[in-house]
C-alpha cells in the first residue's frame, strides 16, 4: 500500500493546538487516568501517524485518541486494514462521580499541558542563563494555544503553577543583571497571562493580584509594553464589574503610553476596547472615533503580534465593533457585524466563537427577533460545553433571564428547557 500522509489527523493537532510531544503526553495520561493502563506513546509515534507510516495505530493508542478528540479512528484519518476493528474500551476504574466527557477532556489537557510545558527543566538551584529565560518565555505561547480553544477556566491553575515554579527559580538561583531583567520581563508576561485566564474563569480577585504582580515585574524589567498590556486588561476587568468610567480612564492611560503608540497591534486593541467603553456610557461620537482609530492602527501592523495578541484578527476587530454598536442600541448593525465576525473567525478560536454567537443572539433578542435569537443561543450553548469561561456562562445566564419574558414563544421555551439545570 502506498504511504499517504494523514492530513486529517495533522489538521486535528493544529485545531486543538497540540505539539507532537504534548499529544503523546496526553495519550499516556488519558490511557492511565481513564482506563488504568499506561502507554508508552512518544512524539515519534505521533510523527509516524501523521506521515502515514502507521495507518491504523494499536488499540492502546486508538482508545485514548478517540477519548481526546471525540472522533472515530476513520474520522481521524486512519485507514483500517481488513482485519482491523475498533477495539472495545477496557473496563474503567470506578470513580466516585461520573463526569461528562468534555469536562474530563479538559482535565486531561490541563494535566498533560502541565507536563508538556517543561517546568521540570527550569532549575531550582544554580545559575540561570539565557536558555532558562527562553524556557520561561515559551510557556505563554503554549498556554494561549489552549486558551483559544478551552477558555481560562481550564488553564488558570496550570498558569499559576508555572508562575510559582518560576518564582522559586528567581528566589533560589543566581543570575547576572542582564538575565535578571529578561527574567522579570518573562515573569511579567506569564503573570499577565495567568491574570487573563483567572479573569476569564471568573476569579476576579486572583486576576487583580496577578495583574498587580505583572505591573511590578514590568517596572523591574523596564518593560513599558508589558505595563500597557496590563493596564488594558485592568480596564477590561473594570468594565466587567460595571465600573465604566474607571475602565475608560485606565484605557486612556494605556493608549497614551509611548510603548502602545509604537505597537499598532496593541493600539488597535486598546482603541477597540475604548470604543466599547464609550458606547456603554452612550457617547456615540467617541465610540465611532475609537473604532476608526482601531482600524487605522490595525492596518499598520506588520509581521506577527505577540502571543497574547494572537487572537487579534480582523474577525476580532469586527466583533468588538459589533459589541460597541450593541451597547449603543444599534441592534441591526450589531447583529450584522457579529455575523461577519463569525464568518471570518478561525476555527481554533472556539471560545471566542461561542462568545460571539451569544453576542449575536443578544443583538437579535434586543432587536425583537426572539425566534432567531433563541436558535442562535441554543447552538452557542451546545458549543459552550467544550469551553470553560465564566464570561460565556454569564452571557448565557443573561440571555436565559431575558428569554423568560418570552416564554410564550416556542423557540424561547425550547431554549429555557435546553438550559434548565445547566447552572446558567
pLDDT digits (tens, 9 = 90+) for 320-331: 999 999 999 999
CA dihedral 51, 55, 56, 61 (to 10 degrees): 0
CB 360 within 8 A of CB 335: yes
Q: How is residue 127 annotated by DSSP? A: B
| Separation of CA 151 from chain center | 4
Burial of residue 418 (number of CB atoms within 10 Å: 0-12, 13-18, 19+): middle
Q: Which residues of the chain have pLDDT under 50?
A: 84, 86, 88-110
| pLDDT score at 421 | 63
> Within 13 Å and on the Cβ side, how many CA atoms surround 58?
9
| pLDDT score at 167 | 87
Calpha distance 140→136 (Å, rounded)? 8
Residue 87 grid coordinates: 477495539
What are all long-range contacts of 221-225, with beta carbons under 8 Å and residues at least 24 apart?
Answer: 221/181, 221/182, 221/184, 221/185, 221/188, 222/181, 223/184, 223/185, 223/188, 224/257, 224/258, 224/259, 225/259, 225/260, 225/263, 225/266
Burial of residue 283 (number of CB atoms within 10 Å: 0-12, 13-18, 19+): middle
Domain ranges of the chain: 7-73, 101-326
Burial annotation 354-370 (CB, 10 A radius, 16+ → b, else e): bbbbbbbbbbbbbbebb
From 3.100.10.20, 2.70.98.10, 1.25.40.10, 3.30.360.10, which CATH number describes the 101-326 domain?
1.25.40.10
Question: From residue 223, how far is each of 14, 183, 187, 189, 258 by CA, in Å?
Answer: 32, 11, 11, 10, 11
| pLDDT score at 116 | 61
pTM above the 0.85 mark?
no
CB 362 within 8 A of CB 401: no
| pLDDT score at 332 | 95
Residue 156 grid coordinates: 488558570
| pLDDT score at 317 | 96
Calpha distance 330→186 (Å, rounded)? 42
Which residues lie below 8 Å from residue 143, measured CB to CB, with a gap of 6+? 113, 117, 155, 158, 159, 162, 193, 197
State which H helix or E strand residue 334 sits in. helix 331-344
| pLDDT score at 126 | 85
Q: Is 287 helix (H, G, I), strand (E, B) or coil?
A: helix
Nearest to 362, CA basis, from 317, 321, 386, 332: 332
CB 412 within 8 A of CB 370: yes
Residue 61 grid coordinates: 493508542
Q: Is 16 helix (H, G, I), strand (E, B) or coil?
A: helix
Amino acid at each position: 500500500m502506498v504511504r499517504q500522509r494523514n492530513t486529517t489527523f495533522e489538521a486535528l493537532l493544529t485545531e486543538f493546538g497540540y505539539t507532537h510531544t504534548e499529544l503523546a503526553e496526553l495519550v499516556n495520561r488519558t490511557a492511565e487516568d481513564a482506563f488504568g493502563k499506561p502507554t508508552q506513546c512518544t512524539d515519534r509515534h505521533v510523527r509516524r501517524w501523521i506521515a502515514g507510516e502507521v495507518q491504523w495505530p494499536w488499540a492502546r493508542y486508538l482508545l485514548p485518541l478517540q477519548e481526546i478528540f471525540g472522533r472515530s479512528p476513520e474520522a481521524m484519518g486512519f485507514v483500517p486494514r481488513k482485519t482491523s476493528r475498533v477495539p472495545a474500551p477496557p473496563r474503567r476504574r470506578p470513580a466516585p462521580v461520573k463526569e461528562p466527557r468534555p469536562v474530563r477532556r479538559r482535565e486531561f489537557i490541563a494535566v498533560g499541558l502541565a507536563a508538556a510545558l517543561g517546568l521540570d527543566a527550569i532549575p531550582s538551584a544554580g545559575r540561570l542563563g539565557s536558555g532558562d529565560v527562553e524556557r520561561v518565555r515559551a510557556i505563554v505561547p503554549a498556554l494561549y494555544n489552549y486558551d483559544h480553544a478551552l477558555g481560562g477556566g481550564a488553564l488558570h491553575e496550570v498558569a499559576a503553577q508555572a508562575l510559582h515554579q518560576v518564582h522559586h527559580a528567581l528566589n533560589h538561583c543566581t543570575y547576572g543583571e542582564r538575565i535578571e531583567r529578561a527574567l522579570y520581563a518573562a515573569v511579567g508576561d506569564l503573570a499577565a497571562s495567568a491574570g487573563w485566564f483567572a479573569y476569564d474563569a471568573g476569579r476576579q480577585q486572583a486576576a487583580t493580584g496577578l495583574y498587580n504582580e505583572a505591573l511590578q515585574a514590568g517596572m523591574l524589567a523596564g518593560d513599558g509594553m508589558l505595563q500597557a498590556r496590563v493596564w488594558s486588561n485592568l480596564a477590561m476587568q473594570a468594565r466587567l464589574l460595571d465600573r465604566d468610567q474607571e475602565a475608560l480612564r485606565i484605557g486612556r492611560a494605556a493608549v497614551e503610553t509611548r510603548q502602545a503608540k509604537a505597537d499598532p497591534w496593541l493600539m488597535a486593541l486598546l482603541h477597540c476596547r475604548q470604543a466599547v467603553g464609550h458606547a456603554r456610557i452612550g457617547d456615540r461620537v467617541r465610540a465611532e472615533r475609537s473604532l476608526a482609530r482601531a482600524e487605522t492602527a490595525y492596518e499598520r501592523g506588520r509581521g506577527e503580534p505577540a502571543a497574547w495578541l494572537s487572537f487579534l484578527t480582523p474577525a476580532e476587530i469586527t466583533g468588538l465593533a459589533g459589541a460597541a454598536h450593541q451597547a449603543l442600541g444599534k441592534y441591526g448593525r450589531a447583529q450584522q457585524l457579529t455575523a461577519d465576525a463569525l464568518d471570518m473567525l478561525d476555527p481554533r478560536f472556539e471560545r471566542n466563537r461561542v462568545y460571539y454567537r451569544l453576542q449575536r443572539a443578544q443583538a437579535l433578542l434586543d432587536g425583537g427577533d426572539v425566534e432567531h435569537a433563541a436558535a442562535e443561543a441554543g447552538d452557542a450553548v451546545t458549543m459552550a460545553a467544550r469551553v470553560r469561561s465564566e464570561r460565556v456562562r454569564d452571557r448565557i445566564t443573561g440571555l436565559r433571564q431575558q428569554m423568560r419574558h418570552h416564554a410564550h414563544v416556542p423557540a424561547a421555551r425550547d431554549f429555557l428547557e435546553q438550559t434548565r439545570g445547566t447552572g446558567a
